[in-house]
Structure 1
Amino acid sequence: MVPMTDDVLRYTAFATTPAGGNPAGVVLDASALDDDAMLKIAAGLGYSESAFVTPGPDPRDARTRNLRFFSPKAEVSFCGHATVATAVALAERHGTGDYLFHTQAGEVPVTVDRGDGVLRATLTSVAPHVEDVTGDDLTEALAALDWPAADLDPALPPRIAYAGARHLVLAAATRGRLADLAYDFERLAALMHRLELTTVQLVWRESDFVFHVRDPFPVGGVVEDPATGAAAAAFGAYLRTLGLVPRTAELTLHQGTDLGRPGELTVTLREGDARVRVSGAAVPIP
Structure 2
Amino acid sequence: MAAENLLIKTLACRRQARIFFVNNADLLNTICRRPAVRSRRVRHAFALTVSAASLLSGTLKDHQRLSLKVKASRPGCAWYADVDALGNVRGHLGEGWLNAAPEDLDRLSVPQLIGDRGFIQMVKDVGMNRNVTGITDMPRRNIVDDLTHYFNQSEQTPTHFAIHIDYDDDGGVRTGVGVLAQLLPGAPEGLMDRIREAARRLPHISLSNAEGGAFRKLPFLLFDDIDVLDEVRVQAYCGCSKAMMLPMLHALGTGELAAACERNEPVEILCRICGQSYRFMPEEIRRLLSRDAPSPGSVPPSP
* Pairwise same-fold verdict (TM > 0.5): no
TM-score, normalised to structure 2, is 0.22
| Higher helix proportion | 2
| Higher strand proportion | 1
